[in-house]
Amino acid sequence: MKYAASVQASLKLAVCQTLLSLWSFAPGDARAAGALLRIACDGDAQGAEVQIDGKFKGDCPVDVQVPEGTHKLRAFKAMDAETERVYEIELRVADGTIKKVEVVLSAPQMSEAARQRAAVASEKARRQELA
C-alpha cells in the first residue's frame, strides 16, 4: 500500500514537472503576456490594501498579473481616519517574469485624505487672512 502511494506521488510529480517544462518552452504568445507580481507580507502588513498604478488589486498577500513596463505599487493599512502605514515602490518588469515584492509598512503617517483636508483648511485660513 505504501509502495503504491509512493509510486502515485512520484508519477504526479513527474507529470507536473513535464507540464511546467512544456509551458516554459511554449511560444511567448501561448503564455499570458506581462509579468507576475507576487506581493508578499508578514505580520501586521497582512491585509494591507494593494494598488497597482492607482487601481485596487486586492489585500496583501496577493499575486497580480501586470503588463510589461514600469508600475507604481502602493500598499497601505489605515490606522484610523487620519493616519495610515504605507509601502510604495516603483518597479519595472519584463514579459514572462515573476517578481516578488516584500511589503514592509512605514511608521504611521498622515493619510492622503487627511493631507488633502489639511491643505484645504490651510488655503481657507490663508484666504481669510488676506480678506
Q: What's the whole-number average pLDDT of the chain?
A: 82
**Cβ neighbours, 10 Å, residue 34:** 17
Span 17-29, pLDDT tens digits: 554 444 444 444 4
Span 69-123, pLDDT tens digits: 999 999 999 998 899 999 999 999 999 999 999 999 999 998 888 888 889 988 9
Is pTM, for the whole model, over 0.75?
Answer: no
Q: Measured between alpha carbons, how far is 18 from 28 in angstroms, rounded to an integer?
A: 18
- Classify residue 45 by burial, with Cβ atoms within 10 Å: 0-12, 13-18, 19+: buried
CATH class of 32-130: mainly beta
Per-residue 3-state assignment (H helix, E strand, C coil) for 44-70: HHCCCEEEECCEEEEECCEEEEECCEE
Domain boundaries, the chain: 1-29, 32-130
Query: Using alpha carbons only, what angle is made at residue 68 by residues 65 and 73, rounded to the nearest 5 degrees?
Result: 60
Q: What percent of the chain has pLDDT over 90?
A: 52
